[in-house]
Amino acid sequence: MESLRDVLIEELRDLYDAEKQLVKALPKMAKAAGNEDLRTAFENHLEETKGHVQRLEQAFELLEEKAKSKPCEAMKGLIAEGSETMEEDFSEPLLDSAIICAAQKVEHYEIAGYGTVAAWSRALGLENVAELLEQTLEEEKAADEKLTEVAGGIIAEAGAAASSDEEEEGDTVGVGSAQKKGSSNRSSPDNKSKRRTG
């Protein structure tokens, strides 16, 4: 017979896989970010994410369960969408904004997952497991807030650049500018066309 404990373990296995996928994805997101604060935010969250993997391993240990992962299709999809975004031919502030959107979807998935497993652990009287999960939950929330803050800065900067462009023809790229920046540090794939003729 299935119990809440079984459901908890299933969900922890999903999160364990999700976190391990993120350990691989976050360096790519950091590399794709043009804005320095954004890159730093991803690099910092990568370190935290490695800690999330370890906390889950500790949780399995406390539960006397093997640390096993269950393929997290949702995270796979979120990361795939994020990768598509990173290949878009947008100017830097727009690309960064779109990457932040993808990253915040990931954080919200994690917040939902950890909020639930922490609550279930409390309900089961597993206080030490709950504490571990709540620590991670707080870091996910802080990461989400940091991204909101960085996004605001990017939009404000791009907006200011766009209006100073209008006033004195500055050389910065603003929101809405179709101009492509040659200095962007992302690779530009040359096989972007989805349709093939022939």
Q: Of 198, 155, 193, 187, whose CA–CA distance to 86 is shortest?
A: 187
Q: Which amino acid is at 158?
A: A
17 part of the interface to Fe ion, by CB under 5 A: no
Check residue 110 for interaction with Fe ion (CB under 5 A): yes
The length of the chain in residues reads 198
Name residue 45's amino acid. Answer: H
How far is residue 143's CA from residue 24's CA, in Å, rounded to a whole number? 17
User: Tokens for 79?
Assistant: 């990361």
Q: Which stretch binds Fe ion (CB under 5 A): 47-55, 85-93, 167-175, 188-196?
A: 47-55
Minimum CB separation from Fe ion for residue 42, in Å?
Answer: 10
The verdict on 144 binding Fe ion (CB under 5 A) reads no
- Of the candidates 13, 20, 39, 52, which one interacts with Fe ion according to CB under 5 A? 52
Which positions ≥6 away from 127 have C-beta within 8 Å?
A: 121
Based on the shown chain and the rule CB under 5 A, indicate whether residue 14 belongs to the binding site for Fe ion: no
Q: Which residues contact 75 (CB under 8 A, 6 or more apart)?
A: 17, 18, 21, 22, 106, 109
Report in angstroms how near the CB of residue 59 gets to Fe ion at its nearest: 13
Q: Which one of 45-53, 85-93, 119-127, 179-187 is the stretch in contact with Fe ion (CB under 5 A)?
A: 45-53
User: Is residue 20 at the binding interface for Fe ion, with CB under 5 A as the rule?
Assistant: no
Residue nearest to Fe ion (CB): 52
Give the residues lining the site for Fe ion (CB under 5 A): 49, 52, 110, 140
